[in-house]
Structure 1
Amino acid sequence: MKIRTTKYIIKDGIINAYRNKLMSLASIIIVTASLLVFGIFLILSMNLQYKINDMMVRQLQIEAYCDANLDETQVRDIEAQLKMNSFVSDIRRVTKEEALQRCKELLEEDGRILEGYDGSFLPESFIIKIKDSEHIKSVVETFRNIKGVESVAFLEENVEDLSSISYWARIISILLLVILLSVSVFIISNTIKLTVFARRREINIMKYIGATDWFIRLPFIVEGIIIGFVGAIISFIVTYYCYSTIEGQLSKGILGESIDFVSINSIVLYVLGSYSIIGTVVGGVGSGISIRKYLHV
């Protein structure tokens, strides 16, 4: 395609979008509303997954108890072996003194019975955080086989429950997002069809004077892309402002308790990209398909 023709098509698409201000505005409003509904659910599903992952990270904790009769060298050797595991994200040593203090805290008022003891009768232990719930059982078995490790404890049922919840939450979120996206595409496409229908006479005249199908179609596609992109940008601005405001207020504890959300800065490109792709693709493809029936004159 010649550069001159390309410039004409882009210019004509822009002029048509401006000339048909009422229909363009209606289309932009529909695109914006559809993307906002889609975006709200997208962000909700991302926050749900974030909360589940956060809970799983807290539960992915193992405590390995050493034999109480081990000396300092043997304890350090166990620590070195624990750190060598590639699935370990963090490890903290609990000394005999710390273990004694924990016992006192657990016993509360009855903790006074431990006064005078130095904790030498208690085993040292290691609190270990695991990177991935999928490997926690194999990691536990590996740690149990380390010489000098008396026992390994972890909340197995909690980890399995959270893994199951995470899996089904992800599946349901994907299905609902696909359904919502399909509805948004349907609404936007039909709105664009109304725009094309309102200009069917213009299309017929262009056909009668010898214009090719693609020469007629491309300006409409450009127009649809512009409408979709403008709607996407407006949706993103509204989403960004509202989410930032809500996130800021809730993180300050406006409801009496601080609530953590996914940071807007960590998802801003993802949301903007999703809006832009959906808006422009649906706008362009919707216009191209909608005009097809009016090209058969």
Structure 2
Amino acid sequence: MRLGFVLSEMGAGLRRNFTMTIAVVLVTMVSLFFFGTGLLVQKQVGILKGEWYDRVQVSIFLCGDDSPVDRCPAGAVTDDQRTALQAQLEADPRVDRVFYESKQEAFENFKETTNTSITDNITADQLPESFRVRLVDPEGYLAVSDDYLSSPGVEDVPDQQAILQPLFTVLNVATNIALGLAALMLLCSMMLVSTTIRLTAFSRRRETTIMRLVGASRALIQLPFVLEGVVASLFGGVLASAALWAMVNFGVSRLQNRPGFTTRLIDTGDVLTQTAPIIVGVGVVFAVIASLFSLRRWLKV
């Protein structure tokens, strides 16, 4: 009986404030869409870091005959120095694998990635030999670089991750902007839910006063109002999830399916199993908080 009463009161409130309810649904949808976009961008940044950082190798360039004196005061690397450095790298627990690249191998790789008009004027003796090191934790690059930069026979340990850092900086800024807009929109959504519930409670203040006088509990009186905000926010969350799914399915997935594109991108599974439950849950929680806050004044007897 009480369940039927609560549902009937909720339905009556939604019908009486149909226009405001639609506004709550739309504002909640937009705010949760931005929030979900921020979550997806964060996930994509994590995927790119994990995938691209694993591809980055520490390059330890050895001294050669043409190396600058300030970096290689003892001249070209000796066989003993090369052997000792390789043994040190292989014993380092931070190192996963070590690859030695001779001058000839460096020259062959250089020819594969450089225009022939440049390689025609370069010989193998002009390129440095090096060790290519794959780390167990790619983000520990700086510590490894500092340790081996001063080793005998080492000319330079360039920071290859610096090439990727600007990209991740841009992606992180985009994430923060999306989450900032989401926070602002969520605040607007809470204010709109609170205003809608307050207007509904004010228009029915005589009914609620009578219910309290005849012994109805505060929870029974508040529940229909709270459910109105929850239902509106729930619809907004579902619509936001559908919009995110469409964006990923018809936008990101098409990019993923292009020939030669190997980087893993977020997919619809990430939306349905991870992002959608979070944004729907956040929408419902915010609606409950806003509803209870707005009811504290109008349901006092």
TM-score (norm 2): 0.69
Measured in 2, the distance between the counterparts of 1:27 and 1:234 equals 17
Question: Structure 1 regions of 5+ residues with no counterpart?
Answer: 1-7
Match of 1:102 in 2: 109
Aligned length: 282
Does the 8 A contact of 2:256 with 2:262 survive in 1?
Answer: yes
Match of 1:54 in 2: 48
Query: Which of 248, 253, 276 is 1:248 aligned to?
Result: 253
Give the residue type in structure 2 aligned to 1:22.
R
Give the residue type in structure 2 aligned to 1:54.
L
Is 1:186 matched up with 2:191? yes
Does the 8 A contact of 1:225 with 1:283 survive in 2?
Answer: yes
Does the 8 A contact of 1:39 with 1:239 survive in 2?
Answer: no
Is 1:36 matched up with 2:36? no
Measured in 2, the distance between the counterparts of 1:207 and 1:185 equals 27
Q: Which deviates further from its counterpart, 123-132 or 66-75? A: 66-75
Query: Which of 6, 10, 23 is 1:13 aligned to?
Result: 6
Match of 1:5 in 2: none
Query: Which of 205, 209, 214 is 1:209 aligned to?
Result: 214
Is 1:220 matched up with 2:225? yes
Q: Which deviates further from its counterpart, 204-213 or 46-55? A: 46-55
Give the residue type in structure 1 aligned to 2:195.
N
Match of 1:22 in 2: 15
CA change 1:274–1:24 in 2 (3 A) is farther
Give the residue type in structure 2 aligned to 1:36.
M
Q: Secondary structure at the match of 1:291?
A: helix
Give the residue type in structure 2 aligned to 1:245.
F
CA change 1:53–1:265 in 2 (3 A) is closer
Question: Structure 2 regions of 5+ residues with no counterpart?
Answer: 64-76
Q: Secondary structure at the match of 2:279?
A: helix
Q: What are the superposed Cα offsets for residues 205-247 of structure 1, whole Å, 9 maximum, x if unpaired? A: 3234332433322343344334433442343234323432222
Q: Secondary structure at the match of 2:215?
A: coil
Q: Secondary structure at the match of 2:292?
A: helix
Q: What are the superposed Cα offsets for residues 96-128 of structure 1, whole Å, 9 maximum, x if unpaired? A: 44212134344623534668x6x7985243154
Deviation at residue 80 of structure 1 after TM alignment: 0.8
Q: Which deviates further from its counterpart, 21-30 or 265-274? A: 21-30
Q: What are the superposed Cα offsets for residues 137-162 of structure 1, whole Å, 9 maximum, x if unpaired? A: 32211122445544312258656756
Match of 1:70 in 2: 79
Match of 1:236 in 2: 241
Provide the identity percentage: 19
Match of 1:80 in 2: 90
Measured in 2, the distance between the counterparts of 1:92 and 1:38 equals 50
CA change 1:94–1:259 in 2 (3 A) is closer
Does the 8 A contact of 1:95 with 1:124 survive in 2?
Answer: yes
Q: What are the superposed Cα offsets for residues 184-218 of structure 1, whole Å, 9 maximum, x if unpaired? A: 21122223333334433432332343324333223
